[in-house]
Amino acid sequence: MIIKEIKKRRKSLYAIEFDQAQDLSFANCELDSTGLPLVDAALVAEKGLSKGDTLTNEGFCELVDQSFYRRAKSRAIWYLSRGDLAEKELYKKLIKVFPEEASARAVAKIKELGYIDDERYALRLAENLLKVKRVGVREALAVMTSKGIDRDVAKYALEDTECDTVAVIKELILKKYKNRLGDKKETQKVVAALARRGYGFSDIRSALAEFDTETEIFED
């Protein structure tokens, strides 16, 4: 296949036009609106490709694979610049745009470079959930696993995060629920609200005891 023209396209991509119409389905490449294959512009420049150069089918497939990998890696870094992601979560985002193999290679490289570390991310997230967002361990665990963090890694991070849960619940009661503790039914609603935030009944009971609230409601 002889390159007839290399045309600049969107987002640092080049479209390659060959001297004769080609069936490029074998390469599983991305095509522009005119049906020309798209490849990473920096990769084209690095390889020194230009009009008149010849590419074999194998060489073209390799070019396409390298292009997808470079673009996936670049997109991964962009995602991470906007906030922490777990390894699985990053991969799921990438495969929405790029082939699975390119996405997996990109994630592996990003991990090798130290840009993603699920254990480090889990510790930061646990700290934020327990101390800033004021949710209980149960809810925090659900949030962390939904973000692609392994359940055991999430549990370890939560256990390793120093947090006086009873004190946090007391603070929540003071801010939102103190005026509702005089009535038994209202107190039950407060307990339910705190439980929905992921706090255990033992910790809720201990916190309510500080407000001289009857704890028999737990036994009804």
**Residue span of the structural domain in which 106 resides:** 3-112
Q: Which parts of the chain have pLDDT scores under 70? A: 182, 212-220
Structural domain total, the chain: 3
pLDDT at 220: 44
CA distance 144 to 155: 9
Q: What is the CATH number of the domain that holds 98?
A: 1.10.10.10
143, 57: one domain? no
| Nearest alpha-carbon partner for 78 in 87, 90, 68 | 90
108, 147: one domain? no
Each residue of 68-114: pLDDT tens digit? 999 999 999 999 988 889 999 999 999 999 999 999 999 999 999 98
Amino acid in the structure at residue 111: K
156, 169: one domain? no
